[in-house]
């Protein structure tokens, strides 16, 4: 499960940062707190959890198996879903805090 060595130092760093930001996160509105924690859980399940499973598969059977391909695809999918949920949460918080949120894009011809 610890085939990829980055898991240990990043796991320690993640725990330290989680403890440092604990009070900050729980002072946010309840919806924002729940969505932030959910996005972190989804992201970290992909980044650490499925990376450990993929490392085990790579160690036992190599990188060129269907199982490894499925595992790293799920890993990347969970990471991207976690990031998308984080972006949604931050935009929702900005809208709650500051009112109407509007983005516009304008394309100018050269």
In this predicted structure, the answer to whether residue 76 has a pLDDT above a threshold of 80 is yes
Is-contact 55 4, C-beta < 8 A?
A: yes
- pTM check: above 0.75: yes
pLDDT at 102: 83
Report the alpha-carbon distance of residue 57 to residue 65 in Å, rounded: 9
The secondary structure of residue 48, as a DSSP letter, is I
Q: For residue range 3-55, list pLDDT tens digits in order.
A: 777 888 988 999 999 999 999 999 999 999 999 999 999 999 999 999 899 98
């Amino acid at each position: 499960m610890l085939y990829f060595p980055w898991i240990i130092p990043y796991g320690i760093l993640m725990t330290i940062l989680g403890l440092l930001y604990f009070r900050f996160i729980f002072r946010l509105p309840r919806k924002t707190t729940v969505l932030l924690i959910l996005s972190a859980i989804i992201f970290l399940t992909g980044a650490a959890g499925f990376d450990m499973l993929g490392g085990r598969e790579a160690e036992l059977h190599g990188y060129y198996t269907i199982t490894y391909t499925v595992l790293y695809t799920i890993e990347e999918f969970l990471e991207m879903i976690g990031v998308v949920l984080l972006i949604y949460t931050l935009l929702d918080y900005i809208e709650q805090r500051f009112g109407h949120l509007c983005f516009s894009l304008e394309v100018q011809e050269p």
